[in-house]
Structure 1
Amino acid sequence: MAVPSAHEFHWQSLAQLPTGRVYHTLSEVGGQMYMLGGCDAAGRPCPIACPCLQGDRWINLTPMPTPRAGAAVAVLGKQILVVGGVGEDQNPLKVVEMYNTEEGRWRKRNTLREALMGVSITVKDGRALAVGGMGADLLPRSILQQYDLRKDVWAQLPPMPTPRYDANTHLLGNKLYVAGGRQCKRPVKAFEVYDTETRSWTTLPMMPCKRTYGGVMWDTAGKLCLLGGLRQGGGHQSSKFTKNVNIFDTNQGAWLKSEETVAMKTKRADFAAAFLRGRMIVAGGLGHEPSALDTVEAFHPQKKKWERLAPMTFPRCSVSSIVIRDRLLVVGGVNQVQPGLMDAALLKAH
């Protein structure tokens, strides 16, 4: 399949957000984007409406009953399940709520057994699988739990070998992959997979390096791609920005050798990353500059090189992003001027 050339990608500014936002979660139902929770410029979870982007305007919907930031979100049919996160008192939450996009209303659902933030969530066969998290005692959890919408029940499944929060999860067939994450702010290299049929965990080859705030994405061929971030040194060494790329091939069950991967052009962390039209895209973030980055680059799989794309309108980091209908939407975030950006932008290729 031919991929778009670099000059075919361009940015389009969307309507401004009602308020600046960071640490929000984006979700898509029926081609429309919903924004859930997040913090304002002062770092407080937003007790405001859940906006929906329709065309080029934001529609304020019914406010989420519990203000929160960093929530885990899963789409179950026409409903959006919102799990855990951080509340107004800066502590983890066990509250679970669901928004019905057709009825336009919220319902309280059965809570988690304990308050958790940094939960990772995915959906299989109409049920949500929630992995890990950090409790009120600031310790990581190894818990795996499954939510049944019809019964409104959370069931405990076999726990994963490595407790962690903020892990990256991905479902391939009957296997749930869990990569990286953190333990008490320290990054972990653990990489494990849960087989939903045998209900058992398998430990995979560890991630090549400890890194935080990197890009994590899965391609359509079942490859896990880790990009950039802050590499963590041993002992008292400080963190360093990297442009390193690591790729795990699930078919081979191994990490590709360094000579089989191509490093990004720019060292960066805390950026937007996505697959778009067959190309890996990275946008914005922080690097060896005094302010946030506006630069964007994309990997060309046939040429095997990274190419510059048009820069974003505003430099930013800590954004939330989502791909809907072959378009990358980048929403909110932080730059030096505005702690909570009110801007939203869309990247597409013609």
Structure 2
Amino acid sequence: MVEGVKCIGPRVCHGTTVVGFDIYVIGGTDDGFGGLSSCFCFNSVTKTCRNLAPMYDCRSALMVAVLRGAVYAIGGCDGRRYHSTVERYDCKTNQWSLVAPMNRRRRGASAAVLNDKIYVAGGSNFNGVLHSVEVYDPDTNRWTFVTRMLSQREDFSCVTFHGCLYAIGGHNGPSYVASTEKYDPAEDTWTEIPDLGVYSVYLSAEVFCLRWTFCRGQLLPP
């Protein structure tokens, strides 16, 4: 909690993302069983927190992505059912709208943006842990399957780097997964890459791009 900032209350299994200087907190649960539709936004400049319009569905263990300046809340569960539904938040109008649902119900999956599309991989539903992957095209408002991952994964992390999608860690139901794999959209193929040094679940991975400046014969750090 930041000093002088009103706390939004306890919650876990929520989604977070950043648009500009705003940090969005989407859904989650405050009792470990159900789901919440409430959302908040914390501005890192003004140090203020404000309520946002609630989602249509209560969502815990959901996936969140930002595409073309809009926030997407994807899948998750509400304590009784797994969701395939997807909704998009307009930051300017403070409104949620439903878009095309996924082909599979999922919770605990991972989402990442690559080539102006949203990829959602893995997760679980009543059939168990998944390795299927689907991609959302905002121009056609459709979800389509691509080649599935080599391993079933839940509660893992996906990141994009140099035009590829990386799936890292998680678990497959009975055991943790240390393996990582890379998806090449041009070839529609997954390949194994070196394992993590430790087993990691419920992890979050990010890519940091550092830019160095060349000045008067010297490289200056960012």
Which category of TM-score, normalised to the shorter sequence, fits these structures? Answer: 0.7 to 0.9
Tell me, yes or no, if the aligned pair for 2:37 and 2:54 is still in contact at 8 Å: yes
User: Which AA in structure 2 matches 1:52?
Assistant: C
Distance 2:24 2:141 in 1: 23
RMSD: 2.1
Distance 1:32 1:62 in 2: 15
The structure-2 alpha-carbon separation of the partners of 1:172 and 1:14, relative to structure 1 and needing over 3 Å to count, comes to farther
Tell me, yes or no, if the aligned pair for 1:116 and 1:133 is still in contact at 8 Å: yes
User: Which AA in structure 2 matches 1:35?
Assistant: V
Q: 1:86 corresponds to which residue?
A: 77
Q: 2:92 corresponds to which residue?
A: 102
The CA deviation string for residues 64-110 of structure 1, in whole angstroms up to 9 with x for no partner, is 11011121001012211111112142x32111111111121111111
Report the CA distance between 1:42 and its aligned residue.
5.9
User: Which AA in structure 1 matches 2:113?
Assistant: V
1:77 aligns to 2:68 (yes or no): yes
Tell me, yes or no, if the aligned pair for 1:98 and 1:107 is still in contact at 8 Å: yes
SS in 1 for 2:58: coil
Report the CA distance between 1:217 and its aligned residue.
5.0
Report the CA distance between 1:117 and its aligned residue.
0.6
The CA deviation string for residues 278-328 of structure 1, in whole angstroms up to 9 with x for no partner, is xxxxxxxxxxxxxxxxxxxxxxxxxxxxxxxxxxxxxxxxxxxxxxxxxxx
SS in 2 for 1:206: coil
Which stretches in structure 2 are left out of the alignment for 5+ residues?
211-222
The CA deviation string for residues 246-303 of structure 1, in whole angstroms up to 9 with x for no partner, is xxxxxxxxxxxxxxxxxxxxxxxxxxxxxxxxxxxxxxxxxxxxxxxxxxxxxxxxxx
User: Which AA in structure 2 matches 1:178?
Assistant: A
1:137-148 matches, within 5 Å, as 137=127, 139-148=128-137
Distance 2:188 2:138 in 1: 20
Report the CA distance between 1:157 and its aligned residue.
0.7
User: Which AA in structure 1 matches 2:20?
Assistant: G
1:63 aligns to 2:67 (yes or no): no
Distance 2:52 2:62 in 1: 18
Q: 2:152 corresponds to which residue?
A: 163
1:132 aligns to 2:117 (yes or no): no
User: Which AA in structure 2 matches 1:23?
Assistant: C
Report the CA distance between 1:162 and its aligned residue.
1.0
Report the CA distance between 1:114 and its aligned residue.
2.0
**1:210 paired residue among 199, 203, 214:** 199
Q: 1:173 corresponds to which residue?
A: 162
Tell me, yes or no, if the aligned pair for 2:157 and 2:204 is still in contact at 8 Å: no
**1:116 paired residue among 102, 106, 125:** 106
Q: 1:53 corresponds to which residue?
A: 42
Distance 2:203 2:113 in 1: 23
User: Which AA in structure 2 matches 1:108?
Assistant: L
The CA deviation string for residues 147-184 of structure 1, in whole angstroms up to 9 with x for no partner, is 01121100111111111112221211121111111111
1:129-278 matches, within 5 Å, as 129-137=119-127, 139-212=128-201, 216=205, 218-220=207-209
The structure-2 alpha-carbon separation of the partners of 1:151 and 1:21, relative to structure 1 and needing over 3 Å to count, comes to same
SS in 2 for 1:74: strand
Higher relative contact order (CA 8 A, sep 6+): 1
Distance 1:201 1:35 in 2: 31
The structure-2 alpha-carbon separation of the partners of 1:154 and 1:23, relative to structure 1 and needing over 3 Å to count, comes to same
Tell me, yes or no, if the aligned pair for 1:75 and 1:123 is still in contact at 8 Å: yes
Report the CA distance between 1:19 and its aligned residue.
2.9
Report the CA distance between 1:193 and its aligned residue.
0.5
Structure 1 length-normalised TM: 0.55
Report the CA distance between 1:207 and its aligned residue.
2.8
Report the CA distance between 1:16 and its aligned residue.
2.4
Report the CA distance between 1:41 and its aligned residue.
4.0
Aligned residue-pair number: 208
Q: Percent identical across equivalent pairs?
A: 24
Which stretches in structure 1 are left out of the alignment for 5+ residues?
1-10, 222-350
Tell me, yes or no, if the aligned pair for 2:159 and 2:205 is still in contact at 8 Å: no
Q: 2:22 corresponds to which residue?
A: 32
